[in-house]
Amino acid sequence: MELSHRSERRFSGIPVAPGIARAAVMVQWEEDEEIALRIIASDDLPEEIARFESALIATRAELLEIQQRIASAIGSNDASIFDAHLLVVEDRTLIDEVLRRIEEDRCNVEYAFHQVAEKYCRSLSQIDDPYLRERVVDIEDVTRRIIRNLLGKAPRNPAAHDQPHIVVAHNLTPSDTAQLNRTLVMGFATEVGSKTSHTAIMARALEIPAVVGIHGLCQDLTSGDDILIDGYTGTIILNPSPETAAEYARIASQKSQIVERLGLIRETASTTVDGCHIVLSANVDLSDELDDMAESGAEGIGLYRTEYLYLNRIAPPDEEEQFEHYRRAAERARPHGVIIRTLDIGGDKSTQSLHLPEEQNPFLGCRAVRFCLQNPEIFRAQLRAILRAATFGDVRIMYPMISGLDELRQANAVLEQSKAELAARGVPFHPYIEVGIMVETPSAVLVADHLAREASFFSIGTNDLIQYSIAVDRGNENIAHLYSPTHPAILRMIGMVVDAARARGIWTGVCGEMAGDVLLTPLLLGLGVDELSATSAVVPRVKKAVQSLDVSRCRELVRQALEMDDAAAIAELSTRMARECYAEIAD
Q: Please state, in angstroms and rounded to a whole number, the distance separating the CA atoms of residues 131 and 125.
A: 10
Which residue, 224, 237, 295, is CA-closest to 77?
A: 295
Whether the Cβ atoms of residue 537 and residue 556 lie closer than 8 Å to each other: no
Q: Please state, in angstroms and rounded to a whole number, the distance separating the CA atoms of residues 44 and 40.
A: 6
487 catalytically annotated = no
275: region left, alpha or beta (phi > 0 left; psi from -120 to 50 alpha): left
Query: Catalytic residue among 107, 218, 372, 511, which?
Result: 511
Whether the Cβ atoms of residue 188 and residue 251 lie closer than 8 Å to each other: no
Within 13 Å, how many C-alpha atoms sit on residue 562's CB side? Answer: 16
Q: Residue 13 — φ and ψ, nearest 5°? A: -140, -155
State the first-to-last Cα distance of the chain, in angstroms, to the nearest integer: 33
Q: Please state, in angstroms and rounded to a whole number, the distance separating the CA atoms of residues 427 and 417.
A: 14
What angle in degrees, to the nearest 10, is found between the helix axes of 567-586 and 539-548? 100
161 catalytically annotated = no
Tally of CB atoms within 10 A around 568: 10
What does DSSP assign to residue 236? E
Which helix (H) or strand (E) element contains residue 94? Answer: helix 92-105
Q: Residue 389 — φ and ψ, nearest 5°? A: -65, -25
Query: Catalytic residue among 85, 165, 198, 336, which?
Result: 198
CA distances from 394 to 192, 299, 328, 387, 480 (A): 41, 12, 12, 11, 39
* Residues designated as active site: 198, 511
